[in-house]
Amino acid sequence: MRCDRLWRHARLATFAGPGLGVVEDGALACLNGNILFAGPAGDLPVDLDAAETIDCQGRWITPGLIDPHTHLVHGGDRAHEFELRLAGAGYEEIARAGGGIVSTMAATRAASLDSLVASALPRLDALIAEGVTTTEIKSGYGLCLEHELKSLRAARRLGNLREVRIVTTFLGAHALPPEFAGEGDGYIDTVCREMIPAVAAEGLADAVDAFCEGIGFTPAQTRRVFEAARAHDLPVKLHAEQLSNLHGAALAAEFGALSADHLEHLDEAGVATMARAGTVATLLPGAYYVVRESQKPPIEALRAHGVPIALATDCNPGTSPLTSPLLVMNMAATLFRLTVDECLAGVTREAARALGLAHEIGTLEAGKRCDLAIWDIERPAELVYRLGFNPLHARVFGGRG
Ligand code: DI6
Ligand code: FE
């Protein structure tokens, strides 16, 4: 039997099964971009012959990291708003001065597709530099058909410019654009009747998301968005229970959502509905940190009910200008008390599940894509415990790299 590449003398964290799935003297073989074998070197098929063999010298191999929730494509930044907040300005004051989400909408609408791609590339490269091989990217700063389509096209194009898999999400129901002020239902009509059909017709989105919140959209409006998504065979996910408990997670679960995200204000009943539906809890500790939230997501209840926990950067210009999955893991451990194993599973196996891609990526198992991160570390905990240090040795995408 012949394979394209064989990595030897590696320590593997396979994530096959519930824990890290550690293999001390491990080997991993790749054929045609997929994993042919991952396991103890002693179990390698005796007749296996490799076109190329790589000696890992004891380095650790994990699955390529996955960031399952980002708003990577947007115009402008909000650094000035950050300064205003440090000087004591409140959210409303900033919004009245033309800041907040609407300022990002204006900058996104003003940007050409090319410049949206150009401004997102350094953010994407920052993820890639830490071993990310798949990232989700949402629209949601265009807030009208033309600019939502442009944002999704920019996201798709990013996937052609780099060796990375991009999964796109339509988030038209992110905020109310000023031209619909006071007409939330009218805007949702446009989202459901105009935008979702157009996005679906062009195959521009892999899923549909909404922001169910007092400052976003009501559960009734969110339900309409989900019904429109379902009519176009698009899976859903939800920004839920970030600032208050509107029972968005239960609504998401009712629609079989891939994930419910944020969840600081989620209650136990909501956790139970997520568990029954198999909806992943995607936690976003960067946003928790930046807005200086004090209400933590219900970690104990999520564990008790067996809800899978994923972690993401939520990279966005307002509440999480963060492009480091390594720092996300540290924040999840330090702020939410997740274990090292939970953090690492959160950016690999469970992040894949949150994207509906558990059958393809997220673990080191025969048949999965050969997306790998190879680390200069002595033990996996180093990936979670250090701050601002990147021990990535190599990154492999579809067997290449
Ligand atoms: N929740 C958030 O934290 C971000 N969007 C969302 O739905 C905020 C986005 C922004 O302020 O630009
Ligand atoms: Fe978000």
Q: pLDDT per residue over 143-173, tens digit each?
A: 999 999 999 999 999 999 999 999 999 999 9
For residue 115, pLDDT beyond 90? yes
Tell me how far apart the alpha carbons of residues 314 and 64 are, in angstroms, rounded to a whole number: 18
DSSP 122: H
Return the closest-CA partner of residue 351 out of 150, 62, 67, 122. 67
216-229 mean pLDDT: 98
113 — pLDDT class (breaks 50, 70, 90): very high
Tell me how far apart the alpha carbons of residues 336 and 360 are, in angstroms, rounded to a whole number: 29
What's the token pair of residue 327? 């720092």
Is the Cβ atom of 211 under 6 angstroms away from ligand 1? yes
State CA 396 to chain mean position distance: 19
DSSP 296: P
79-100 mean pLDDT: 86
363-383 mean pLDDT: 98
For residue 72, the model assigns a pLDDT of 98
User: What pLDDT digit, counting tens, does each position of 249-273 carry?
Assistant: 999 999 999 999 999 999 999 999 9
For residue 95, the model assigns a pLDDT of 76
Mean pLDDT of the chain: 97
179-183 mean pLDDT: 96
User: What pLDDT digit, counting tens, does each position of 267-326 carry?
Assistant: 999 999 999 999 999 999 999 999 999 999 999 999 999 999 999 999 999 999 999 999
pTM, 2 dp = 0.98
What's the token pair of residue 143? 């807030």
For residue 24, pLDDT beyond 80? yes
Tell me how far apart the alpha carbons of residues 298 and 264 are, in angstroms, rounded to a whole number: 7
Tell me how far apart the alpha carbons of residues 315 and 303 are, in angstroms, rounded to a whole number: 26
For residue 98, pLDDT beyond 80? no
Return the closest-CA partner of residue 160 out of 197, 113, 198, 201. 113
For residue 153, the model assigns a pLDDT of 98
Tell me how far apart the alpha carbons of residues 241 and 149 are, in angstroms, rounded to a whole number: 27
Categorise residue 15: left if φ over 0, alpha if ψ from -120 to 50, beta otherwise: left
* Ligand lying nearest the CA atom of residue 100: 1
DSSP 300: H
Q: What angle do CA 384, 390, 394 make, to 5 degrees?
A: 110
High-pLDDT (> 90) share of the chain, %: 96
Is the Cβ atom of 281 under 6 angstroms away from ligand 1? no
97 — pLDDT class (breaks 50, 70, 90): confident
Question: Strand 22-31 vs strand 2-13: parallel, antiparallel, or unpaired?
Answer: antiparallel
Tell me how far apart the alpha carbons of residues 278 and 259 are, in angstroms, rounded to a whole number: 9
For residue 96, the model assigns a pLDDT of 74
346-365 mean pLDDT: 98
For residue 90, the model assigns a pLDDT of 84
Residues with beta carbon < 5 A to ion ligand 2?
314
Other C-beta atoms closer than 10 Å to the C-beta of 6 total 22
Q: Of all atoms in ligand 1, which is nearest to the CA of residue 78?
A: 12
For residue 351, the model assigns a pLDDT of 99
Tell me how far apart the alpha carbons of residues 26 and 55 are, in angstroms, rounded to a whole number: 11
Looking at 10-77, list the stretches that DSSP marks H as alpha helix, in order from N- to C-terminal side: none
Question: Strand 60-63 vs strand 280-283: parallel, antiparallel, or unpaired?
Answer: unpaired
Q: How far is the CA of 301 from the centre of ligand 1 (A)?
A: 25
Tell me how far apart the alpha carbons of residues 145 and 147 are, in angstroms, rounded to a whole number: 6
Residue whose CA lies nearest to ligand 1 atom number 9: 318
Tell me how far apart the alpha carbons of residues 177 and 71 are, in angstroms, rounded to a whole number: 17
Is the Cβ atom of 104 under 6 angstroms away from ligand 1? yes
For residue 142, the model assigns a pLDDT of 98
Q: Helix (H) and strand (E) counts for the chain? A: 16, 15
State CA 305 to chain mean position distance: 22
Indicate the top mutation candidate among 74, 136, 316, 320 to test ligand 1's pocket, ranked by most ligand atoms within 8 A of CB: 316
User: What pLDDT digit, counting tens, does each position of 337-351 carry?
Assistant: 999 999 999 999 999
For residue 77, pLDDT beyond 90? yes
For residue 26, the model assigns a pLDDT of 98
For residue 222, pLDDT beyond 80? yes
Residue whose CA lies nearest to ligand 1 atom number 2: 319
Contact 169, 208 (CB under 8 A): yes
Tell me how far apart the alpha carbons of residues 271 and 302 are, in angstroms, rounded to a whole number: 6
96-120 mean pLDDT: 93
Angle between helices 145-161 and 113-129 (to 10 degrees): 50
For residue 92, the model assigns a pLDDT of 75
Tell me how far apart the alpha carbons of residues 173 and 387 are, in angstroms, rounded to a whole number: 34
Is the Cβ atom of 169 under 6 angstroms away from ligand 1? no
Is the Cβ atom of 265 under 6 angstroms away from ligand 1? no
Tell me how far apart the alpha carbons of residues 169 and 70 are, in angstroms, rounded to a whole number: 9
1-7 mean pLDDT: 96
